[in-house]
Amino acid sequence: MAEQWLEAATHIVPADAPDRDNRSLVRAHRCTHGERIDSVECLIEEVPVALVYNGVSHAVMLASPSDLDDFALGFSLAEGILASPDELFDIEIEHGCRGIEVQMRIHGQRFAGLKARRRALAGRTGCGLCGVESLEAAERRLSPVRRGAPVGARAVVEAVEALYEHQELHRATRAAHAAAWAMPSGEIVRTREDVGRHNALDKLIGALAREGIDVTNGFAVVTSRASVEMVQKAASAGIGLLAAVSAPTGMAVDQARHANLTLIGNARHGRLTCYSHPDGLIDD
């Protein structure tokens, strides 16, 4: 029986899989109705990823080890370290025995501002405000988002329902979050996955910025609750509509209202709830 499970499991992680490093096979035991059988389970990986700017380590996050160039750029933009992608001059990814270093060379003025902030994040899966040194620092002032044309509610529902088919890592491990970019029609055109929900959104933001995709023409969908940091990251990237499959927090709604962002929660099973700026959504 164990050999049969092993044979089946090896097909979960094909040798040419683009995110093979995100998964590992682990021997385990399954118990069903009192019967225990040997099995081989496909688990998601998380590794320490150090984000290093001009030779100085700024943050160590636990993340899935794929799309790290998108992750580094998206994190830098969402955290206000960089104002635009062209302020990132070079990026190198170095694998070591203790984790991965993402070495970035950024504009000197931005590096000076980073040193002045002295913000060091101690990475933890799902961590939101680790390393913020004061309550004042936790309250970010967001510039109002320039929203594009309103999006149809049906398009949001269709994007949410289609998202699972774009979650290869989650289908294999049942442990990955996803952030996706959808066109106004509801068609998903970019998806990024990670063990951490914030990381998945950072990766998506980085991919959109790297490819020059117009964020006023579409919306973002995430497979998590809409926490305040998810709203902050979306607004910092200029995203005007964020749809989450779970509910938002009260502070997230307040931030969305101040940022002119249309925030949708509980988007699942053909339903959704709009919590801020409903003019960004069309009932169709």
Whether 127 is catalytic is yes
The maximal CA–CA distance of the chain, rounded, in angstroms, is 63
How would you class 16 by CB atoms within 10 Å of its CB: exposed for 0-12, middle for 13-18, buried for 19 or more? Answer: exposed
Which of 31, 42, 97, 127 is catalytic? The answer is 127
List of residues 6+ apart from 42 with CB closer than 8 A: 9, 12, 13, 23, 24, 25, 172, 173
DSSP 92: E
Give which of 65, 83, 74 is closest to 181, Cα–Cα: 74
3-state secondary structure of 131: coil
Residues in the chain: 284
- The answer to whether 234 touches 220, Cβ cutoff 8 Å, is yes
Q: Which residues are catalytic?
A: 127
